[in-house]
Amino acid sequence: MKNILSIRRLLLALGIIGILALTGMNLYSIYALHMSAVTTSVEKNREQLEDLSQWVRVRMRQNSGNLWTLEASELKRIAEYPDQIPAALIQYLNHVSNDQLYDDIYYTLDGDRVCSPESGVMRFDSAVGSFVPAEAVPEQVCRGIGMVSTRMNVLASTYKWTAYMMTDSYFTFNFVFFNPDQAETIAYLSMPINRDYLISGVIGPEIFRRFSNSEESGVLVYLDDWTRGQVLISNAESNQDISRDHDFISRFSGVLEDWNLKMRYIETPEVAASKASLVRNIGVLAVTVFTLIFSLIFLYLAAKRDRELSMRQASFLANVTHELKTPLAVMQAAGENLADGRVTTPERLQSYGQHIFTETMRLRKMIEKLLDVARNEAGQLTLKPALLQPEKLVKEHLAEQQGFLNQNNVQLDLSIEDDVPKIMVDQNSFETILGNLIENAVKYSPEEKYLGIRVYSDTKKVFVEVQDHGTGIPPESQKLIFDKFYRVEETLTARTKGHGLGLSIVKNLTERNGGAISLNSTYGKGSTFTLSFPIAANISFSNLNGQKINEEESKPEYV
C-alpha cells in the first residue's frame, strides 16, 4: 500500500512538472511570437522612415543627374554668353523654374564676392530661357553661396568629383561645379527654397500618406528643426506640446542638414492586435493549466479518499464479522446448554435467558444500523415528519434507555428550557439520532460516566445538546468524524468497539430532517454534540423529500 501511495505521489508530481514545463514552453513561444510581431512592426516603421527621408533627398535633387557631365569651359562661357546655356543645364533650369519648391535661380562664377557689385551674379529668366544680370541679390542667396564657398575652399585639395550639392542654414539649395584636376571651383548655382511649401506641400503630405494619423497608425512621425528645437510638422492632430523624445531618427544627409525626421513608437495596430492575442492566449493557457492541475490534484485526492474508504470498509467488514460472531456464539452456546438439559435451576435458566436476550438486542442494533445505511445509500429511507415536542421526545427516549443508563452507572444531567417550541421531524429519525449520541457518550466515557442533555431554543431554532466527559476527539479527526466507516484510532479509544457508522447516520438523518449538527470537543476532556432544528412555525408544511405534507397528517403526536 505504501509503495502504491508513493507511486501515486510520484506520478502526480511528474504530471504537475510536465504541465508546468509545457506551460513554460507555450508561454515562451507565445511571447516570442508577440516579440516577433513587435520587431516586424518596428522594422517596418523604421524602413518607412528611412524611405521617407530618402524620398525627400531625391525630390530635392530631381533631374540634376546630367549636371555632373558639364565641362568647365561650358560653364565659364555662360558669363560671356548668358543665352548659350548647355542643354543639360537648361533642361534642369526649366524643371526648377516650374517647381514650387524653389523661389528663383542664381548663377555666379565668384562665390567669395557674391554680394559685391563686381561678383557678376545672374538670375535665370524662364520667360526668355537665359540668364540675365541680377539687379539685387537676396541676402539669403549671398549667405548661402558664401557658406558653400567657404566649405569648398576647405575641401578643394581632397575633393575628387565635378559637382557638390548642399542645402545651407539659410535655405538655399546650392550646386557647386568643381574641377578636381585643377582643384578649383568653377561656378555656383543657388536656388532659394520655399520653406513653407517644403514643409506643408512636400514633407507634410508625404508623412500623412505613409503613416496616416498617429492615433490610427500607432506611431508619431514629425519633422524636427534641431537647431531651433522646433517641431515643424507631424502626423498628430496638433504640433503643439509634442515631446521631442523619439525612438528612431532619420537625417536628410547632404540636403537638409538642420532638419531630421523623428519617430516615436506608440502602439501600431499590428502590435496592439498581437498584444491582445498574447493576453488572450495567456488567459486561456492559465485557465487550462489551472484546470489540468486542479483535475490531477482532484483525481489524486479522490483516489486517496477511495483508498481510505476501501480500507475503512475492509476494517468495517472485519469488525462486523467479529461483532456478529460474538453474540451468535454466545446464543449458540446457551442454546446448546439449554437443549442438552444441562441447565435445570431457575436461577441459571434466568441467567441464560438474560444472556440470550442481551446478545439478541445487541445483534438487532447492529443489523438496524446496517439496514439504515443500506436504505440511505439506496435512497429508500422514508421520512414521516410531524409536529413534535422536543421535551417529550427526549424524556420518553431517556425513559426507554433508563435500564441501559443504570447498568452503566451513568450520571444524567438533564436541563430543559420552559416552553420549547415544536419542531417538524420524523420521530424514528430523532430517536435514532439521540440514541446514537447517548450510546457514544456512554461508550467513550471509560471513567466518568457523565451524560449532560440540554434542550433550549432561540427565535428561529431548537437546540439539543448531548455532552460527555469522555475521551474527546483529537482536532485532526474532528472534520472526519462524520464520514462513513471512519473511526478515531488512538490510545484512548483502542479498546472501544465500533463500526464507524453511528455519527454518519446521525449527520445524515439530522440533515434529512432539515437540521444541522456541530461538534465541540477537547481531547481527553469530553465532547459536546449540538443538534439544531428549525422551529415548526418558521417552516412550510413540506417534507425534505420534496413531497407536500397534508396538515391533517402533521398534527402533533404529543399533546
How far is residue 22's CA from residue 28's CA, in Å, rounded to a whole number? 10
Residue 462, judged by CB atoms within 10 A of its CB (0-12, 13-18, 19+), counts as buried
Length of the chain: 559
Beta strand 526-534 with 461-468 is antiparallel
What 3 state SS string does 371-420 have? HHHHHHHCCCCCCCEEEECHHHHHHHHHHHCHHHHHHCCCEEEEEECCCC
DSSP 217: H
* 54 backbone φψ class: left, alpha, beta (φ>0; ψ -120 to 50): alpha
Give the pLDDT score at 489. 62
Sign (positive or negative) of CA dihedral 435, 439, 441, 442 = positive
The pairing of beta strand 248-252 with beta strand 256-265: antiparallel
CA dihedral 49, 54, 60, 65 (to 10 degrees): -170
Q: Say how far apart CA 455 and CA 419 lie, in whole Å.
A: 10
Please check whether residue 468 is in contact with residue 452, taking contact to mean a CB–CB distance below 8 angstroms.
Answer: yes
End-to-end CA distance of the chain: 58
DSSP 542: B
Give every CB contact of residue 381 below 8 A, 6+ residues apart in sequence.
Answer: 372, 375, 512
Measured between alpha carbons, how far is 31 from 28 in angstroms, rounded to an integer? 5
Per-residue pLDDT, 558: 32
- Position 42 scores a pLDDT of 83
Q: For cell 581632397, what's the residue?
A: 158
Beta strand pairing call for 219-225 and 184-192: unpaired
| Residues 330, 335, 340, 341, CA torsion sign | positive
Q: Per-10-residue mean pLDDT for the chain, 559 residues long?
A: 69 82 83 79 88 91 84 87 90 92 90 72 91 88 87 87 82 89 89 92 92 85 88 84 82 85 82 79 84 81 74 60 67 78 78 79 72 64 84 90 86 91 89 88 85 92 93 85 70 51 83 91 90 82 43 37
Residue 409: left if φ>0, alpha if ψ -120 to 50, beta else—which one? Answer: left
Q: Are 165 and 177 in contact (CB under 8 A)?
A: no
Between CA 356 and CA 364, with CA 360 as vertex, the angle to 5 degrees is: 175
What is the residue whose three cell numbers read 443489523?
367
Alpha carbon distance 12, 25 (integer Å): 20
Q: Give the pLDDT of residue 261.
A: 93
- 3-class DSSP state for residue 555? coil
Buried-exposed string 378-401: b where 16+ CB fall within 10 A, e elsewhere: eeebebebbbbbbbebbbebbeeb
Cell of 71: 565641362
Residue pointed to by grid coordinates 444441562: 342
* Chain centroid, CA 142 distance in Å: 68
